[in-house]
Amino acid sequence: MSGLENAGRDALAGEERLGQDSVAFASFVQAVSGDFDLLAELHDREPTAAMVEAVQCCPIEDQLGLVLRSDAGLAALAAFKLATEELPRPVTQHAIDELAAAYADVYLRHTYRAAPTESVWLTEDGLERQSPMFEVREFYRRHNLVATDWANRPDDHIVLQLRFMARLFDAAKTPDDLAGAVAFLDAHLLRWAKRHAIRLVQTGAPEWYAAVSLLTACYADEVRVHLTALTGMARPLRVETSAAKNEKAAVEAAMPYIPGVAPSW
C-alpha cells in the first residue's frame, strides 16, 4: 500500500477553491479515488506480511489523501493504530495466520453476524442478493461497469462498492461529475457501512477488522461532507431511531480514548 502525494491534502484547503481550480479539483478527486481503493484493499483479503509492515512503518493517516478531521474519524484512526501496534514487529507468520483465520470468520463465515453485503442490512429478512443488490448493479450498469465474479461476491459487497466509488472519483472532471457519487453514497454505502462497523465492535470482532470497518464508515461520512459543499447536494435527513441511538452509544463506548477527542457520529 503506497502513500498518496500531499496534493490531495492541499486541495482540501477549501471547497470553493476546489470548485474553481481545475488542478486542485483533479488532485482532490484522485486522492479520494486512491483512498477508496486503499480501503477496498483492506477489506478485500486477509493482510499479508507486507501489508502489515506497510501500516506499521507508515500510519494509515499518512497513507490517506483525505485528512480526517471529525471526532469519529480521529477515533477510527486511533483504533486502527492500536490494532497495528498490537501485532509483533517484525510481524510473524503466526500473526499472519491468525489474521487470515479471523478474516474468514468476519467475511466468509459471518461469525460476528456482520455480513459485508448491503442486502442483509437493508431488507426485512436479512438475506443476501435481494433488491439492494440489483439496485447497486443498476448503478454499475449506468457507468458501464459490471461485477465479474458475482456468484462468489455479490454486487453489493463492500469491496465492490468501495471500488465503484474509486472509479466515480477517478472519472470526475468537475464538481457536477460527482453527482453520481453523492447519489450512490446516499442510497447505498452510507445506509449500512456504519451499521456493519458497529456490529463488529459490538460482537467483539478482531480489532484489525473492526477498525478497518470503522475507518471505512467514517471516511465515507467525511467524504459526503465535502461533497455537500462541492455539489450543493445536501445529505438527506433520516430520523434517528432508539435502536440507532443505542448502536451509537455502543460504538462510542468501544472507541479508544484520545485526550480532547470525544467520538461522535
Tell me which fold the domain 7-254 belongs to.
TorD-like (1.10.3480)
Query: What pLDDT is stored for residue 261 in this prediction?
Result: 38
Residue with cell string 440507532: 244
Q: Is the pLDDT of residue 4 over 80?
A: no
Q: Is the pLDDT of residue 9 over 50?
A: no
Any idea where the domains of the chain sit in the sequence? 7-254
Rg of the chain's alpha carbons, rounded to an integer? 18
Q: Is the pLDDT of residue 15 over 80?
A: no
Q: What is the pLDDT of residues 172-192, one digit of tens each?
A: 999 999 999 999 999 999 999
Question: CA torsion 108→125→241→132, rounded to 10°?
Answer: 70
Q: What percent of the chain has pLDDT over 90?
A: 78
Q: Is the pLDDT of residue 222 over 90?
A: yes
Query: What pLDDT is stored for residue 255 in this prediction?
Result: 54
Q: What is the pLDDT of residues 69-119, one digit of tens each?
A: 999 999 999 999 999 999 999 999 999 999 999 999 999 999 999 999 999
All cell numbers assigned to 8: 490531495
**Cα gap 35→105, rounded to integer Å:** 25
CA angle, corner 218, sides to 17 and 135, nearest 5?
Answer: 95
pLDDT confidence band for 229 (50 / 70 / 90): very high
The pLDDT mean for the chain works out to: 88
Q: What is the pLDDT of residues 141-163, one digit of tens each?
A: 999 999 998 888 999 999 999 99
All cell numbers assigned to 83: 490494532
pLDDT confidence band for 264 (50 / 70 / 90): very low
Query: What pLDDT is stored for residue 88 in this prediction?
Result: 97
**Cα gap 118→156, rounded to integer Å:** 5
Q: What is the pLDDT of residues 201-212, one digit of tens each?
A: 999 999 999 999
Query: What pLDDT is stored for residue 151 in this prediction?
Result: 82
CA angle, corner 183, sides to 177 and 184, nearest 5?
Answer: 100
Q: Is the pLDDT of residue 258 over 80?
A: no
